[in-house]
Amino acid sequence: MTYNVSLENFQGPLDLLLFLVRKNEIEIEDIPIITITEQYMEYIDMMKALNLDVAGEFLVMAATLMYLKSRALLPRTDGDEAEEEQTTLEDLKRQLLEYEQYKDVAQRLKEQNILEKNVFTRACFNEPVPVDDEQALTEASVFDLLQAFKKMLERVGGDEAGYEVEFEQISVKDKMSDVLQLLEGHMGGLPFERLFSENPGKVELITTFLAMLELMKMQAIRIYQNANFSSIYVYPIGDEEQQGEAVGDSEQL
């Protein structure tokens, strides 16, 4: 038996590319296409191995990157193919630059609370208490969560070939309840690692990770970090009724 989690409500391929650019501390104009393509495909392979529902846009971007990588590995030639390669790469950089600007503006609007004037939600989210008073927390992405999960999996000797889980042993629904119980009373958040047992097995790691993705999608939890690619903290959204509905909805998954 397998378990499917859709990434449609999370991020898209440009988010993953921007994540990799910032992780490697490089400028968009100077993207090392071979390195970025290899890292992009690692994340795609991991998402597929975890049975995450990878949207078609991710695969289209993967095909574009593989094309650019293959052209970069071939000897330079003149003609239409070289011009097409350059056009494709420049178009990708342009999209990424525009998307980065969009993300930055959206973040500034969020920080200024401008959008709250006309937004009304059922639940009240208690803002997290910063772990470090000198640096406010920022909301992390699902790719930050994937990176943290990969590190934990490596600690227990896991690999891509062993991602398949027998969910009759540990259900995602039960893990969703466990995560919410652990976060109960911790409105200041808990480190990502605290949501796992002291010596977790591979099955527990994967099931807990999928449970967290479902809770994020249902807006029962949020994840934050002090800085890009730093430690991740998980915060409950302060509405017991909404959290109960999230676990109840999981019965239909």
CATH code of the domain in which 246 resides = 1.10.10.580
Q: Please report, for residues 2, 214, 231, the alpha-carbon distance to residue 152 in angstroms, rounded to integers and kept in the order given.
A: 21, 19, 12
Distance between CA atoms of residues 215 and 199, nearest Å: 23
What is the tally of structural domains in the chain?
A: 2
pLDDT digits (tens, 9 = 90+) for 43-67: 998 888 887 777 788 889 999 999 9
Mean pLDDT score of the chain: 77
pLDDT for the residue 124: 47
Residues 164, 73 share a domain: no
Q: What is the largest CA-CA distance in the chain?
A: 65
pLDDT category, 76, cuts 50, 70, 90? low
Is 127 a member of any domain?
no
Domain assignment of residue 92, given as a range: 5-118
Least confident of 71-75, 129-133, 149-153: 129-133
